Structure 1
Amino acid sequence: MIKTLLFDFGDVFINLDKAATFRELKKLGLEDFSSGMMEQNQLYEMGKISSEEFVNFYISKIPESNSKKLIIAWNSILLDFPQHRLEFLQQLKEENKYQLILLSNTNDLHISWIKENVSFFTEFKSCFDAFYLSHEINFRKPNADIYEFVLEKHQLQPNEVLFIDDTQENTEAAKSLGIHTWNIDPNTEDVVDLFSTKSELF
């Protein structure tokens, strides 16, 4: 029996354009993401470097850019947050049948943009019993330690948890620990259809 619903954020609640960041950085003069850039991105996502350090790193690689342009390009991945998904979550909270936890690979610049541009962010966050962002807890998906952190912190049995994430690498990692998963396809599926899509678990 599922007792805990563990949700990703991007492309589960807020819509993303995952190709946008590279597309916009390319306009500023970036030719490709080097292995060093990918490493910096991951360090930033884990809160190991500050936003200032992160932006300055990219300025050093794209001399014609500046911090304002870089931040706009970096945040271009973020789109809209449909109201009906908030209402679905609020209904779940009201019914109080499941523990609700958010587990997201999110960095400081992205969450700052969301707080400024999603008018109901406070209401959204208040629906969760726990709200974990990778840059705040210094873990990131798909590394096993981020799932182990949540399981241990809340004394959860993996077979009583359903994890919803749009990235297969992340759901496969959770599945290997015995967690039930839904690798949601944001192009064809919507989190509000959770109970019909995964009806065999409820």
Structure 2
Amino acid sequence: MSKIDTIIFDLGGVLIDWNPEYVFLDVFNGDQEKTRWFLDHVCTSDWNENQDAGYPLAQATEDRVKLFPEYEKEIRKFYGDWENMLGGAIHGMVIILRKLIDSKQYKVVALTNWSAETFPIAQARFEFLQWFEAILVSGEENTRKPFIDIYELALNRFNIKPENAIFIDDNLRNIEAAKTLGIHGIHFTTSEKLKIQLETFNIKI
């Protein structure tokens, strides 16, 4: 196995807890079934991912209101109240991030699906986002994971050899795409499991 010299982190779901249910459970008075239906059929993950690839939030909102006028108020809350969808840092992961950086053995960067319009909110809230050597934000590049071009962009911009890099993401689809370019992948579930997974690459936390 090639020596690992680069760790690439996803952010949402790995280092930052983000969940639209934090807003919409309140909107629907704690009704989980209504909340789930709304997020599965109206403000869907596919729709939100389009904004992660650079589509303007305001236009996306108007598009959705035209499709579901009966849910106009709720749709406008998606980005209008977006900040309250941020839960907090995933603390075990922040500790791992700090240890990897402090070891000075690895280039530590981030590759995230995130709207360029909302990412500054996260940057202001989470100090650890300043620790990375670099962050590639999908919304700033008008593409997103799992499209291959965003991985190629990260490899070229950050001077990464794929065989020397590990990509950590909570979405298996994104991991599989990275692997097609020769990047090693770890499907993130918990910080404790990640420590064990990193050991298979001779990385001890």
Which TM-score applies when normalising by structure 1? 0.77
Deviation at residue 18 of structure 1 after TM alignment = 6.6
Q: 1:31 to 1:61 in 2, by over 3 A?
A: farther
Within-5 A mapping of 1:92-131: 92-108=100-116, 110-115=118-123, 118=125, 121=126, 123-131=127-135
Give, in whole Å, the separation in 2 of the partners of 1:175 and 1:89. 22
Shift of 1:68: 4.9
Mean CA deviation greater in 70-79 or 124-133: 70-79
Per-residue deviation, residues 50-95 of structure 1 (Å, max 9, x unmatched)? 2221222222233252475232565665322134433332332222
Q: How far apart in 2 are the matches of 1:197 and 1:40?
A: 32
Q: What is the match of residue 67 of structure 2?
A: 61
Q: 1:51 to 1:18 in 2, by over 3 A?
A: closer
| TM-superposition CA deviations, 1:176-200 (whole Å, max 9, x none) | 1111110112xxx21x654432212
Structure 2 gap segments, 5+ residues each: 29-33
Whole-angstrom distance in 1 between the partners of 2:117 and 2:157: 26
Task: State the alpha-carbon separation in 2 of the partners of residues 196 and 32 from structure 1.
Answer: 34
Structure 1 gaps of 5+ residues are none
Matched residues in 2 for 1:99 and 1:4: separation?
5
Change (3 A) 1:139 1:68: closer
Contact between 2:61 and 2:76, CA under 8 Å: does it hold in 1?
Answer: no
- The letter for the 2-side match of 1:96 is K
RMSD over equivalenced CA pairs, Å: 3.2
For residues 136-188 of structure 1, give each alpha carbon's deviation from its aligned partner in whole angstroms, at most 9, with x where no partner exists.
12221111111111112223211100000011111011111111110112xxx
Query: For residues 12 and 195 of structure 2, what CA distance do their matches in structure 1 show?
Result: 20
C-alpha separation between the residues in 1 aligned to 2:97 and 2:198? 16
Match of 1:12 in 2: 14
CA distance in structure 1 between the partners assigned to 2:103 and 2:39 by the alignment: 50
Letter in 2 for 1:4: T
Q: Which amino acid in 1 is paired with 2:196?
A: S
Structural mapping, 1:156-195, within 5 Å? 156-185=160-189, 189-190=190-191, 194-195=194-195
TM-score (norm 2): 0.76
